[in-house]
Structure 1
């Protein structure tokens, strides 16, 4: 079963990441432009459609929301303790926290989910909601923490930077259209669908290109601490929350797998966008993604016994 998981679920993702690395090596892709495409073009469409097409009941929606809020709060608490012990400055603390609470739930987690659950609509909806929450955290706390670190801690600059991002508006619009069952005209839904469909390939291309921009360094202790917390402590928290909330079946399995994603490309994009510890962010994404071949395979196997 483990071999099947590796061949059918994990390796296809790494083929796309490898192609991104190859493309950047061959053509020196413009990572700044790729970041803008991810920020302002693809992610808003994915978030809007994720909320608009949600298939979950209100009760399950509440449980998934509670799971995610507790998950992020606990990871933030772990990050704060480690940052205090390590005496990180404001910029490093923001980057370190982002490496833990911003994971690859979208451009990595969504295809993992689709392959692991063979496109099950409920599993897909749960992962889409997690990805939406992740985007909300990215473009609220993620952006504002980096903005504050780079602007000397002024909340005004952080709020201005946040309000320039389109994702929160896409989230609110998607929720409104979903709640009121407003249909989307074809000239809107089709372009959004085409943009959303490009997310996996473009995001993983970006990840592959970013991974090789900075040379692999094995001498940064904070990188190893981040990777251990992201890949091991994150799933432990996920398991505890699943049992604490009494979740069963596909929802429990999907959330357990979602808790074991590697550090997200968004943490690197934020670091690149605001020039805040881009080397650290890139290293955590690179190493956690490579090691995730082992941990996500084990987590998918474990999830089969949940519920």
Structure 2
């Protein structure tokens, strides 16, 4: 299992990250433009198609939503206490909290889910739902927290900025089209599918380019605090919630593994888009993805006993 995870999930991810780093070295890519492409073009299509094509019952939706709400709430409390105790400035508070709350449930979590559960429709639906919740969190709280830090509490401007973001609209539209079984013509779904398929490559290329631009500084304690919360505290919280909620079988296993994903690429994309601690954001994504080689293997082993 360890060799399969390394060869089939982790290694392909790092090949794309390295490719982005080489592209940046050779051509000095425009990271601001890349973040715009991810932010306004690829992510809305991915969110819409994930919800539109999902196979989720109302009962499953309720269970996963309850788990996710409690999970994020507890993690947020930990982040709030830590950043307040360490007296981080508002920009760093937003970046740190995003590095913990925004995980890589999409381009990293989906392949792991498919490998572990051999393409189980139930497990895949749970992961797609988590990715949708994560996208909603990213483009609501994630954006508003950064904008609030940059605009110093000018929440009128924050709200106006948020309303300009396409992802929440794509999420609502995708859910409604799925709920009412709205048939969409091929000339709509096929282009969206093409965009959806580009997400992993473009997002990880962007991350690779960011890593080169912002060299790794392992002397920053904030990176290690973020890793402890993201890779250790988060799955512990997930495991305890699974026990409290009485979840069993594939749903419990899928949720436990998903709770231990590394920091999401979107946290780095948001940081680049809004120029808010982009070096810290890129480093937390890289370090957490490397360390996740060990932690996700442990979680997969534990999940087999649920």
TM-score range, shorter chain: over 0.9
Q: Distance in 2 between matches of 1:277 and 1:110?
A: 27
Structure 2 match to 1:40 = 40
Q: Distance in 2 between matches of 1:100 and 1:80?
A: 11
Is it true that 1:153 corresponds to 2:132 in the alignment?
no
Where in structure 1 are there 5+ consecutive unaligned residues?
A: none
Q: Distance in 2 between matches of 1:129 and 1:293?
A: 24
The offset of 1:50, in angstroms, is 1.3
Is the CA contact 2:5–2:112 (under 8 Å) kept in the aligned structure 1? Answer: no
Structure 2 match to 1:225 = 225
Superposition misfits of 4+ residues, deviation over 6 angstroms: none
Structure 2 match to 1:55 = 55
Q: Distance in 1 between matches of 2:121 and 2:46?
A: 16
Is the CA contact 1:50–1:125 (under 8 Å) kept in the aligned structure 2? Answer: no
Structure 1 match to 2:181 = 181
Which piece of structure 1 moves more, 273-282 or 136-145?
273-282
The offset of 1:10, in angstroms, is 2.5
Structure 1 match to 2:17 = 17
Q: Distance in 2 between matches of 1:115 and 1:206?
A: 25
Q: Distance in 1 between matches of 2:80 and 2:144?
A: 16
TM-score normalised by length of structure 1: 0.96
Q: Distance in 2 between matches of 1:129 and 1:241?
A: 18
Where in structure 2 are there 5+ consecutive unaligned residues?
A: none
Structure 1 match to 2:265 = 265
Is it true that 1:27 corresponds to 2:21 in the alignment?
no
Structure 1 match to 2:139 = 139
The offset of 1:193, in angstroms, is 0.9
The offset of 1:4, in angstroms, is 2.9
**Matched ranges for 1:167-206 at <5 A:** 167-206=167-206
Structure 1 match to 2:240 = 240
Structure 2 match to 1:118 = 118
SS at match of 1:275: coil
The offset of 1:24, in angstroms, is 2.2
Q: Distance in 2 between matches of 1:2 and 1:24?
A: 31
Is the CA contact 1:13–1:111 (under 8 Å) kept in the aligned structure 2? Answer: no
The offset of 1:8, in angstroms, is 2.9
TM-score normalised by length of structure 2: 0.96
The offset of 1:298, in angstroms, is 1.7
The offset of 1:75, in angstroms, is 0.7
Structure 2 match to 1:91 = 91
The offset of 1:305, in angstroms, is 2.1
Deviations 1:31-80 (A, max 9, x none): 11211111111111111111111212111110111111111111100000
SS at match of 2:182: coil
Residues paired across the two proteins, number: 306
Deviations 1:226-260 (A, max 9, x none): 11111110111111111111112221111111111
SS at match of 2:213: coil
Q: Distance in 1 between matches of 2:239 and 2:190?
A: 38
Structure 2 match to 1:127 = 127
Structure 2 match to 1:79 = 79
Q: Distance in 2 between matches of 1:21 and 1:281?
A: 16
Structure 2 match to 1:278 = 278
Distance 1:18 1:305, change over 3 A: farther
Is the CA contact 1:91–1:276 (under 8 Å) kept in the aligned structure 2? Answer: yes
SS at match of 1:263: coil
Is the CA contact 2:9–2:108 (under 8 Å) kept in the aligned structure 1? Answer: no
Is the CA contact 2:107–2:200 (under 8 Å) kept in the aligned structure 1? Answer: yes
SS at match of 1:105: coil
Deviations 1:77-118 (A, max 9, x none): 000000111011111111111111011111222222223323
Distance 1:117 1:10, change over 3 A: farther
The offset of 1:299, in angstroms, is 1.5
- The CA RMSD over aligned residues, in Å, is 1.4
